[in-house]
Structure formats: C-alpha cells, structure tokens
Amino acid sequence: MTRLFNTPAAFADEALDGFVAAHRRWVRRVPGGVVRATPTAPGQVAVVIGGGSGHYPAFSGLVGRGLAHGAAVGNVFASPSAQQVHQVAKAAHGGGGVLLTFGNYAGDVLHFGQAEERLNAEGIDCRTVVVTDDISSAPAEESAKRRGVAGDLAVFKTAAAAAEAGLPLDEVVRLAALANARTRSFGIAFSGCTLPGADAPLFTVPEGRMAVGLGIHGEPGLSEAAVPTADEAAELLVSTLLGELPEGVDTPCGLRAGVILNGLGAVKYEELFVVYRRVARLLDEAGVVAVDPEVGELVTSFDMAGVSLTLFWLTEELEPLWTAPADAPAYRKGALGPTAGVSSESPETPETPENSEEQPEQTAVPQASEESRAAARTVLDALAAVVRTVDEHADELGRIDAVAGDGDHGIGMRRGSEAAYEAGRRAQGLGAGAGTLLCHAADAWADRAGGTSGALWGVILRQVGTALGDADRPDAAAVASGVAAAADGVMRLGKAEVGDKTMVDVLVPLAGALGEAVAEGQPLAAAWDAAATVAEAAAKATAELLPRLGRARPHAEKSLGTPDAGAVSLALIARAVHGVLAAKNESEG
C-alpha cells in the first residue's frame, strides 16, 4: 500500500515536484507536466507522451534525449487534461510538429484529442498514435479497442528515436503506428494495488490464486488461476503471446523481437530475473531472437504484485530505432554525444510565460447585469454544496469505481469540484455573472480533475453557463435548456448513449424530467426536486446494466449489481443542488 503521502488529492502534484527536484539534469517542470531540460532541436519532431500518475517510470521518467520530449502527467490513474497536454506540447515543440502518443483509455483519448485539435488550430502540426498492445482487453479482430500497457515503451521509443534521427512528422507517425501494430503484451497479478489514502486494494485475489489478464489501473484480471512457479508463469506469458503473431506471420521461428518483462510495482527484480531466465529459453526454443531485452519496472501500478510480458516484433527499420541510444531518468541505453551549446551539468531552463510553472491569473470578466451577478451568488453556493457532497461520498465513489474500474472516481471528483469552486469564487470576486462564473468553473474542473469525468463535467458546467449567460436573471427555462444542452454535449464528446452504464444514464433522464416539469409551469426548485428524484432512481438502476464503454468494459460481468460511479455522483450532486435551490426559495418566500 502507499504509506507516505500528505493528502490523496495532492499526491500526484507533490510526487511530480519531487521527481523534478531529483532529476534536473534531464527534465524541467512546465504547466501540466515535464519536458526535457534541453530544448528540442529546431525542426525536430517533438514526441509528447502522457497519462495518469501511479505508473512510474511512465510517464515522466521516460522524458529525455532519445526518448520523449515531454510528458503530460495527470492525477492518480486519471488522464491529464486537454489543457495540460496542450501546455506540455507547446513547451516541447521545436518547429517540426508534435506527435502525441499514449495508452488507449477513454479519458486519454478524449483529452489528447482535444489538445490535438487545439494545436492544429494554432498552426502546430500535431498527430496522434494510440497504443493498443494488451491482448487480454479485446480480441484480435477488435484490436483498436485494446488498452495500452507496457507496450507503451516500444511505441514511445520507436517514435522518439525516429524524431531524434531527424525524420519528418509523417515518418515518425508511420513508424510509431507500425511499432504499435507489432507489439503485444499480457500480464498476471497476485494482488491489487492500493491508492493513496485508501484502506483496501482495488481488487483482491484469493490466497494461492492469481489474476490473469489484468490492467495497469488496478482493473481486476479477466480470470483466475492457481499461483504458478516462476517457470510456469513464464510459460503462460510466452505461450499466450506466441499465440498471436503479427499479421501475415505464421511462425515465430526466425523473428526478432524486443522483449520487455515488466514488474508492476511489488515484484522484486530478482524474481523478474528468475522468470526471465525461462522466458529467454522458451523464446530461443521457438526460434525467436530477443533483441536488447528489458527486465524491470517500466510501467507500474503502484504496489501491484504482478508481471507482464511484451513482445515487440521487429522489422529491419524498427530494430535500429529500438536499439538506438536514450538517456532519461528511468531509461538509459547506449551513449549519446553532448548537446550542442548546453552543458549536461547545468542545463538551461529559460523561464517564459510558456514554460513557467505558474499560469497568469485572469483579472477581468465580461460585463454582467446586477440580476446575473445576484444569480452568480446562488451558483457559487451550489458549487460549495457540490464540494461538500463529493467530499462526504468520495471514499464510497472510489469503492464503487473499483469494482470493475480503477477506483479513482472519488479522488478525481474531489479535485475537480474543489477547483471549480475556487475558480467560481475568484470569478465572483471580479464581478462575474452566472454564465461566466460557471464557464470559469467548467475550465477549472476539466483541467484539475482530468480523466473522462473531468472533461464531461467541464462540458456540463459550460453548457449550463452558456445557457444562463450574463445579461438576465436566469429563469427555470434557461436552466432546463442548459441541462438539456449538457446532456447532448456529454453524449457527443463521450460517445456514450443511454444504456452504456455511464453518467449519461442519469443525465438524460435528469434533463428530460427537468424540461417536462418546467414546461408544466413548475418553479425551478420544485422542477429540480422532481428531476433529482428521477436521477436518483436512474443511478440506482445502472446496477443492472453492463458497461459497454471505458475501462470497465472488459470486466462487464463484475460490475453487474453495482451502480456506475459517475451516475451515482451525478445523482448526489443533483440532490445537493436542489438543497441550495430550495433554501433560496424558502428565504425569498
């Protein structure tokens, strides 16, 4: 378990600060993550990686010459926000364009995708390659749905070496995609991991059993088996991976492969070497040539006791990229010459608005009517109620999320709601109307929380804020219109529909019930009460659904009987907002 921390919500930020303080020769801090301590060479493609915290050395430990130019670092097991990715990419950009590459998780796809759109709109040529190496997370015919695990390293290393060689963006993208298509991973675990502040692991394995086909976010395995000997574990890993060869290949004999035996956090290096002893023999017997094998912790999951094996099937153009030199805090290979004009002992770290750690605080807001500023006070009260509600239920939300997911929902909701309230409080102090206050809160929630839910809550608050505006006193019809727009926006961005076992299963009926009650002429407090009641029933009903999207999808049966965490948190928030509206109605009555 994670024993040394201050507060769970601050763990990721404090860990990153300490990492940078310990590795200034390689990296420097920028808003959203880290970039190389030495500037990207002019005209060179910048490879920007990223994902949630809790996987060290991924992702910050893989930033350095010959590897990534920057890493966007999110909260524990949560994707970085689009703003974070954008800031890191801008700081890393050297004029040759940007490649974003990351594991295939819903939040990462969403946030990196938004950042890509923004960078391209600003004139920075930006592309994406998503890593999909975990064969246990989807069948071969649906490989695009697979998640990224330790195979991240093969793709990152290929892309970065290609960029270091001066290849143009089109070629870097092509080679990274080729590396992904030829990478396969499979893992086992003997115990789950425990998040900072949690009193139990995300999943448990019965004594004498192991989980087979686990994920790196604490997702439970797809099946269980008896704990093997080291040799038996090696045989399971190798035989499983040799059962799915690259397209067009019938036999592994004569193939060359980069090999990664990855420890997930609590398996000792000596244990890994015992396993690799057998892995090497099995590959040799199959006629596979292991090229520059890596044995150690490369993509972890806090204190999970487990291992994964990755086979990166090399080609003549991929092999020199896999074996090329690299120098990062947690990954070094070969020897690189000195960087022209910059001492490796004391790298230059220029401070500019683009790479300084503090972002400028907004000091002006659009003009608003007195009626809208008065409504903004109610909106801020509602945000304060959201903070209290989330804080009260954060542990339970994490527990629900851990049944078939990664258990980070409570932490993410706490970070997001607190950031939204603080942004709203600052906006109110500047005289913001209700619409502007909510839009500021939306940006802060999405940026601070990261993850899928962070982005979606950003959409919810922004859509409601847009509907309320700053000119008039918001009425019930405007609120209902905003919630309806929020439902449409969340479905459009998150690609979820009713029945997928997500927050959409609550948001759509909430919007519908609110719109119907308002159309009947009910005042806002009464209409919201009716809608919140519908939301509570809808959240409870998600327990009978099977997830069709997100990290819980491969573990659909495990979630049966447990409601969706995002649906539950939305229903709780709907009821908390009703409390504020009812109190305001009573005070005015």
- Which tokens sit at 492? 């459009």
288: Cβ contacts below 8 Å, ≥ 6 apart: 242, 252, 253, 255, 256, 257, 311
Which DSSP letter does residue 8 get?
A: G
Which DSSP letter does residue 554 get?
A: G
Whole-Å CA distances, 89 to 15, 38, 75, 76: 21, 15, 18, 21
Q: Helices (H), strands (E): how many in the chain?
A: 17, 14
DSSP assignment of 139-186: -GGGGGGPPP-TTHHHHHHHHHHHHHTT--HHHHHHHHHHHHHTEEEE
Kindly tell me the sign of the dihedral angle through the C-alpha atoms of 34, 176, 322, 93. negative
- Which among 402, 432, 436, 396 has a CA at the least distance from the CA of 414? 396
Contact 449, 347 (CB under 8 A): no
Q: Is residue 371 exposed (0-12), middle (13-18) or buried (19+ Cβ within 10 Å)?
A: middle
Q: How far apart are CA 394 and CA 417, in angstroms?
A: 11
Q: How far apart are CA 80 and CA 59, in angstroms?
A: 11
Residue type, 84: Q
Residue from 111, 217, 555, 578 carrying the catalytic annotation: 217
Known catalytic membership, residue 217: yes
> Do the strands 305-313 and 183-191 form a parallel or antiparallel pair, or are they unpaired?
antiparallel
Kindly tell me the sign of the dihedral angle through the C-alpha atoms of 441, 442, 448, 452. positive
Q: How far apart are CA 185 and CA 169, in angstroms?
A: 27
DSSP assignment of 484-548: HHHHHHHHHHH---TTSSSTHHHHHHHHHHHHHHHHTT--HHHHHHHHHHHHHHHHHHGGG----
519: Cβ contacts below 8 Å, ≥ 6 apart: none
Q: How far apart are CA 203 and CA 212, in angstroms?
A: 13
- Enumerate the active-site residues: 217
